[in-house]
Amino acid sequence: MTPTAVPNSTRIRPRGRFAPSPTGPLHFGSLVAAVGSYLSAKAQGGEWLVRMEDLDPPREMKGAADDILRTLEAYGFEWDGAVMYQSQRRDAYEAALDVLHHQGAIYGCSCTRREIADSSVQGIEGPIYPGTCRSGVSPGRSVRALRVRTDGVSCEFQDRIQGAQRSQLDSEIGDFVVKRADGFYAYQLAVVVDDAEQRITEIVRGADLLASTARQIHLQRLLGASTPAYSHLPAVLTAPGIKLSKQTGAAALSRRDPVSELHRALVFLGQQPPVDLASLSLNEFWPESIARWSEASVPRCAGMIATKESPIP
Ligand code: GLU
């Protein structure tokens, strides 16, 4: 019997994504994540999708989603397929919660923020939920949020940039929220459901999300979704430990001179682009940058301060 050749169609084409939250216009920090994810996918002949993470209306800014897309266009990014909007994905999130519920992986929680703060120890991202409602809410109390159990869960993964990672979810994070008390779905749940739905094979994003990855892998396992490859890029900082964000005064990206901002992003990502790359047209800049992309050159640190000219490691 002759061995069956693997048809081309079964070979998985790399697929990356950029998933901005429309809390304000794009800034240099989000540009770095967009550039890193785009170049990684395109350098492998893969696809790149855009997903608008508009699942937290209290934090969103009116018009920001469209503004972000216009800026991406002005910078010459070309995304594959239609933009996915998390605000339209409630049914998928509810279906995932059903799956988790049937496994006994989640439970209702009646605790208020204050009650949790008063009775918990601090983890790496705020208080570790003390497990008060794990075996049911107290009589007379009603369910506010849904949490996923983390007892005994540890998670190891290899980040392509940041190296080997290990996280003990119960002692570092605790049972975390998948549906919030205000009725909105938690980022951790939505990102896992949508990365699975969009068949994302690699996640390239800022290292401020490195600590979220173990939670996401835990949910992927519970939901039977495959785990993509992870590359966490250094986050753009304004001062040691302070991420560039709307809250820390990040300026909106100007659409006037996209190539020089893109060049700056390449410098930040350790690509050592030649100076004359900054004087190319957008049409010339992208193929050149795709051909030159080297993930191995990205600095292996969680964050760097960006100056106008170059980053300070
Ligand atoms: N929406 C998140 C943000 O803007 C990014 C989520 C992700 O890349 O997983 O920070």
Options 3.40.50.620, 3.40.109.10, 3.90.180.10, 2.40.110.10; CATH for 8-89+189-305 is 3.40.50.620
Q: 253-283, pLDDT tens digit by residue? A: 999 999 999 999 999 999 999 999 999 999 9
Q: Which atom of ligand 1 sits closest to the CA of residue 216?
A: 9
* pTM of this structure: 0.94
Looking at residue 294, its pLDDT comes to 98
Looking at residue 312, its pLDDT comes to 43
pLDDT band at 248 (very low <50, low <70, confident <90, very high): confident
Strand order in the sheet with 202-206: 163-168, 154-159, 229-233, 202-206
In the 3-class helix/strand/coil scheme, how is the chain assigned residue by residue? CCCCCCCHHHCCCCEEEECCCCCCCCCHHHHHHHHHHHHHHHHCCCEEEEEECCCCHHHCCCCHHHHHHHHHHHCCCCCCCCCEEHHHCHHHHHHHHHHHHHCCCEEEECCCHHHHHHCCCEEECEECCCCCCCCCCCCCCCCCEEEECCCCCEEEEEECCCEEEEEEHHHHCCCEEEECCCCCECHHHHHHHHHHHCCCCEEEEEHHHHHHHHHHHHHHHHHCCCCCEEEEECEEEEECCEECCCCCCCCCCCCCCHHHHHHHHHHHCCCCCCHHHHHCCHHHHHHHHHHHCCHHHCCCCCEEEECCCCEEC
CA of 176 to the centre of ligand 1 (A): 18
Q: Which atom of ligand 1 sits closest to the CA of residue 23?
A: 4
228 lines ligand 1 (CB under 6 A): no
Tell me the C-alpha distance between 254 and 190, whole Å: 30
CA of 19 to the centre of ligand 1 (A): 5
Looking at residue 9, its pLDDT comes to 56
Looking at residue 310, its pLDDT comes to 47
Looking at residue 1, its pLDDT comes to 40
Q: 167-217, pLDDT tens digit by residue? A: 999 999 999 999 999 999 999 999 999 999 999 999 999 999 999 999 999
pLDDT band at 313 (very low <50, low <70, confident <90, very high): very low
Instruction: Ligand 1 pocket test: pick from 15, 17, 21 the residue with the most ligand atoms within 8 Å of its Cβ.
Output: 21
CATH number belonging to domain 91-179: 3.90.800.10
pLDDT band at 7 (very low <50, low <70, confident <90, very high): low
Q: 96-146, pLDDT tens digit by residue? A: 999 999 999 999 999 999 999 998 899 988 899 999 999 999 999 999 999
Task: Give the mean pLDDT of 61-69.
Answer: 97
Q: 293-310, pLDDT tens digit by residue? A: 999 999 999 999 986 654
Q: 9-33, pLDDT tens digit by residue? A: 567 899 999 999 999 999 999 999 9
Report in angstroms the alpha-carbon separations of 75 from 71, 165, 253, 260, 310: 6, 33, 10, 10, 20
Instruction: Show me where the domains of the chain are located.
Output: 8-89+189-305, 91-179
CA of 206 to the centre of ligand 1 (A): 8
191 lines ligand 1 (CB under 6 A): yes
